[in-house]
Amino acid sequence: MKNKKIILASFLLLCVFVVVALIKNQPDYISKAAYEELLGQNLIENVIIENNEVLLKTKEGNFLIAKELVDLNTLWQKTPIEHAKDYNISEIVLIVILLVFLVSYVLFLNKRNKDRQNLLSLEKNILEKTEQNTTIQDVVSEVKFKDVAGVDEAKVELLEIVDFLKNPQKYKDFGVKMPKGVLLVGPPGVGKTLIAKAVAGEAGVPFFYQSGASFVEIYVGMGAKRVRELFLKAKSKAPSIIFIDEIDAVGKSRGDFSNVERDNTLNQLLTQMDGFEDNSGVIVMAATNKIDLMDSALLRSGRFDRRIFISLPDFKDRMHILQNYMKAKKSSVELEKIAKASVGFSGAALETLVNEAAINAIRRKSDMIEENDFFAVLNKVLMGKKKIFSLSDKERKIQATYQAAKALSAFYFDVKFEKITLIEDRFKEYENTIKSKSELLNKIKVFLAGSVAMELIFNESYTNAQSDLLKAKELFGYMESFAMANEGLLQEQKQEVKEFLELMKEKVVKLANMLLENEKIEKQDIEKIIME
């Protein structure tokens, strides 16, 4: 407002100066006698005729005289005569418009300046409030391992992390370096966040939670700043746990389509992980379901050294989870049936299933959940959860046979695996950097084993082989790049697997039955069946 007044005052002052200047330069009227004297002495240099007046320009100044008092012919002979230009009304209007536009433009510039200042002030206030609202705070987790159902293997791997957080000096004295980072890998809803909370709860240490998306802020530099603050706070409260959920939001591979802010934040995360000492008492845990998209720098030694893969719960795990969720509910349900019918459900999906079944019971105006309540909402939960792997009894038998053939082939052809379940397999990564041709061929055989078994046992082909056939072709292409493959290679491997499985049909069926019962096969199970 103050600037606006100054501009208006300056404009008015300029107008006053112009008017004064115009008034000051107005010519004086002279008499005919004075005119004749000027003319007689040849002092008139220029003459301008304007309407009924004649303007006489001399060295002493300008003078006006009425036109009727002047003999123009005589005057013309002594000095040149001009006719003044007449300004019409349109030109006057144009001048006024230009002046108004000039004033308006000056006022507009002033307003824009003011708006910009207001916007900067508003952004500053929002930024300050954002920082206040996102102050990094630790929490004390009340979750214990007993509260997390269906992830027994992950618990075993994390027990030493808990022990380290409780007794860091023991490891320092022994010269053992604990991993700086632990990456929990698994599909959505399997309980990765809950597991991290359980580790903090068991160890009794502060727990700092951040989502990967929260680091990538709209304000440039905020993500990197928050990473620094997070690690600084965690170090000040060591021993402690930092947990970054959905780390792939900030830890995606850097490439042609990288986001500058995200890359800066990722670089800061790498710097911070490199910066704190081994056995500092701070463990960084992170969760992702997209490890294939993660930047390789995050997976290098000294960062996320330990990776724990969390599978979808098998039958035994689903039973445990369902029992936990049904504890406080009145029910007449045989949970074994529900566990059998919910193949492919994550822990979160099972929680939703129980909740929907309870809602259905209320809808029936019953105070007890019955078996029909579960089956009434089963499809609803399936539709609400993307890509849940749900199988009918016939499909379960087909899938169990398919996976059993792969497990048996992996055992025989020495392709190492952690476990093979009804709906997934977890083969170990190559132990050697230099891979042999026979090693690669054996893995191709395993990928072909399921589809070969379908032809041998069911005399049919099924779509569940799609993923493995793609992997076999991918490996074939890899071998071609090293001149290890020829056109008939895939067919040769298929024939070799077929000959092997023809001799092992009975073993495949037994393993399939074991899979139907337990939903997973481990190495010792295969050894037991082969020895029979």
Instruction: Give the separation between CA 241 and CA 479, rounded to whole angstroms.
Output: 43
Task: Tell me how many domains the chain contains.
Answer: 4
Say which residue, 531 or 384, is predicted with more confidence.
Answer: 531
Q: Please indicate, yes or no, if residue 111 is contained in any of the structural domains.
A: no
Question: Are 319 and 305 contained in the same domain?
Answer: no
pLDDT of residue 362 exceeding 50, the answer is yes
Q: Domain boundary residue among 286, 309, 332?
A: 309
For residues 326 and 377, membership in a common domain is answered with yes
127 burial (CB, 10 Å; 0-12 / 13-18 / 19+) is middle
Which structural domain range is residue 418 located in?
393-531
Are residues 200 and 221 both part of a single domain?
A: yes
- Is the confidence at residue 453, as pLDDT, over 90? yes
Q: Are 380 and 398 part of one and the same domain?
A: no
Give me the mean pLDDT over the 61-67 stretch. Answer: 78
Q: Name the nearest CA neighbour of 212 among 137, 289, 327.
A: 289
Edge-to-edge, what's the strand order for the sheet holding 139-140?
139-140, 206-211, 240-245, 282-288, 181-185, 306-309
Q: How far apart are CA 376 and CA 221, in angstroms?
A: 51
Q: What is the pLDDT of residues 260-282, one digit of tens each?
A: 777 788 888 888 887 766 656 78
| Res 374 pLDDT > 60 | yes
Mean pLDDT estimate for the chain: 79
Are 377 and 419 within one domain?
no
Q: Are residues 348 and 446 in the same domain?
A: no
279 and 320: one domain?
no
> In this structure, is residue 105 part of a structural domain?
no
Which CATH number fits the domain that encloses residue 163? 3.40.50.300
Do 406 and 505 sit in the same domain of this protein? yes
303 with 167, same domain? yes
User: Do residues 206 and 300 share a domain?
Assistant: yes
CATH number at residue 10: 3.30.720.210
Which pair of structure tokens corresponds to residue 455? 């032809």
- Of residues 355 and 224, more confidence is placed in 355
pLDDT, residue 120, reads: 61
pTM: 0.60
421: region left, alpha or beta (phi > 0 left; psi from -120 to 50 alpha) = beta
User: Are residues 277 and 367 located together in one domain of the fold?
Assistant: no
